[in-house]
Structure 1
Amino acid sequence: MNCKQFNTIPLEDVLLSLGHLPTKQNEKEAWYLNPFASESQASFKINKNLNYWYLHSEGIGGNNVAFMKKYLNESVSEVLLWAENQNFSSFHQQNISSSKLENLSKNYEIINVKEIQHPALLEYLKERKVEKQTEFLHEIHYRMNDKNYFGIGFKNDSCGYEIRNKYSKICLGKKDISTIKNNSNSVRIFEGFFDFLSFKNLENKLEKEPSDYLILNSVSMIHNIKNSLGKYEKVELYFDNDEAGNRAVEIINNEIQNSKDCRAFYSKFKDLNEYLNQQINEIENQYKPRFKR
């Protein structure tokens, strides 16, 4: 990865990988507490269209490289090495500039929405161990920058789609949460839809009754849901076991008295999907035929 490539990564994703969440945001900008020092009121702003940051408390700003140089107190080469290790390159596999993700609604066309049939998508779901949960998903064919693409689509509450395949992770349309309602007095909250699908696979094993489900589609959307949780008697949290997940749990626990961190049973794994993969692999290995020489 070079400087130009790293600077096209949304700075929100960079901050998220470091465990920083916005205190407020809209379609054009996001505000954070100072990532470089302690403060009580947010003074760090991101311009989403330009993908530039500005720290009002110090009067400085710049691009991703400038941010990480200051954050790590390292050289450009060390910053790029750090970026390579974060696997940000997965956002570029379909040759879509990540700096344009906020504006995708202006330059894409959805060609077809149907049940998942493409062998590559079915195989990808099988690899993630969620091939039985296709009722929540669509196969989306779309055109962008004069090229045709396809992927697994998970619809959000603003009629946008989270798009995933083996090589791509983008959102078509407005970024938003996804809500699945069952008229329940409890709700389960997940960071991404693969965690939700993984939980649906495990629901019976965990002896859990169906509830309402809320999928953030990005942990940065957590501030959009706090006001909607008060109506529930029980709020269960199934976030990732990382800094961003820890911070998300802390934010909700500070706002909602009846919330519960439910990560204990997969505490040794990055997330629910990784846990599910390990469980299924163990079962499959138990039943593999053993041949004697």
Structure 2
Amino acid sequence: MYGTRDISSVLKGIEGHFPVFTPAAVPRKAVATPPAFEELRVSPLRNTVLLDYLAQRGIPSGIAARECLEVHYRMRGRWYFGIGFRNRKGGMEIRNPYFKGSTSPKDISHVRHSTDKNERSTVLVFEGFMDYLSYLALKQGQPVPDCVVLNSVGNLAGALDVLEGYGHVCCFLDNDGAGRKATEEIRRRCESVTDKAVHYLPHKDLNEFLQHRLKKTEETHAELKRESG
């Protein structure tokens, strides 16, 4: 419609018709408090701007549509839209290219991939849903154990009882002080714990590692193409 797939250009083009956050209006790290969300409308994720944003971060549209929702919400009288990811209490993490927030109640997300309780011997732990989606992208359709997404390391206390119910915990947390502290706390509470963060050093998190890997793959393909040409 706009003759480009550049997200920034598209967002500017549709602003006014269906407003979205802009960097000048909302800082990238801003977190909305629950009262700021005046109304929520949830639907399957189909918005091409949001899907393209996730694709730029290495998340295929098939995974995004299966795991996430499309959320239209009103704040201070204006409508916006974003990617939604539900937690176990019905609250939701919301992201778009310029906004990071959540609705109440804030909690962890417990994603059960195993249908047999007897097979739930391993659980994977992620700090945010973008890292969880990145793991699914890296697995490329292979079977995945149950997963816990903290939606903030501040929710770790509420996740420990869940983690203790598994025989083994694999931590895919951030390579920073908060991530390492959370991993150590999990070690103190759970008998068998593996820190997977060392496998994506020097990157801060799994999504950053995924983006780097995809960029290197594209560069390799481009180099092979030049050589063959």
Q: TM-score, normalised by structure 1?
A: 0.62
Residues of 1 paired with 2:181 and 2:45: CA distance? 35
Other-structure match for 1:13: none
Residue 101 of structure 1, aligned match among 10, 27, 33: 33
The correspondence for 1:137, drawn from 61, 68, 75, is: 68
- Whole-angstrom CA distance in 1 between matches of 2:190 and 2:34: 31
SS in 2 for 1:150: strand
**TM-score for both structures, normalised by structure 2:** 0.79
CA–CA separation in structure 2 for the residues paired with 1:258 and 1:238: 15
Aligned-residue offset at 1:168: 0.2
Residue 127 of structure 2: which of 191, 197, 202 is its match? 191
Which residue identity lines up with residue 269 of structure 1 in the other structure?
H
Q: Report Cα offsets for 1:252-291 as digits up to 9, x if no partner.
A: 1111121111112102101000100111111111112327
For 1:28-43, what aligned pairs fall within 5 Å after superposition? none
Over the matched positions of the two proteins, sequence identity in percent amounts to 33
Report what 1:127 is aligned to: 56
Q: What is the distance in 2 between the residues matched to 1:121 and 1:187?
A: 29
2:172 corresponds to 1:238: yes
Partner Cα separation in structure 2 for residue 245 and residue 149 of structure 1: 31
Instruction: Kindly state the Cα deviation for residue 182 of structure 1 after the two structures are TM-superposed.
Output: 2.5
Contact 2:126 2:132 in 1 (8 A): yes
Residue 113 (structure 2) pairs with residue 177 (structure 1): no
Partner SS state of residue 90, structure 1:
coil
Residues 143 and 204 of structure 1: is their aligned pair in 2 closer, same or farther, counting only changes over 3 Å? closer
* Structure 2 residue aligned with 1:223: 157
What is the distance in 1 between the residues matched to 2:158 and 2:228?
58
Paired with 2:102 and 2:171, the residues of 1 have a C-alpha distance of 23
Q: Deviations over 1:142-171 (max 9, x none)?
A: 112111010000111111110001000000
The structural deviation recorded for 1:203 is 2.1
Equivalent runs, 1:56-135 vs 2, <5 Å: 89-92=27-30, 98=31, 101-104=33-36, 107-111=37-41, 113-132=42-61, 133-134=63-64, 135=66
Q: Which has the larger radius of gyration?
A: 1
Cα root mean square deviation, aligned: 2.1
Any stretches of 5+ residues in structure 1 without a counterpart? 1-87, 93-97
- List alignment gaps of at least 5 residues for structure 2: 1-25, 115-119
The answer to whether 1:166 aligns with 2:90 is no
SS in 2 for 1:235: strand
Higher relative contact order (CA 8 A, sep 6+): 2
The aligned length equals: 195
C-alpha distance after superposition, 1:114-145 (max 9, x if no partner): 22222221111111101241110111111121
CA contact (8 A) 2:164 2:189 kept: no
Post-superposition offset of 1:244: 0.4
- For 1:222 and 1:242, locate their aligned partners in 2 and report how far apart those are by CA, in whole Å: 16
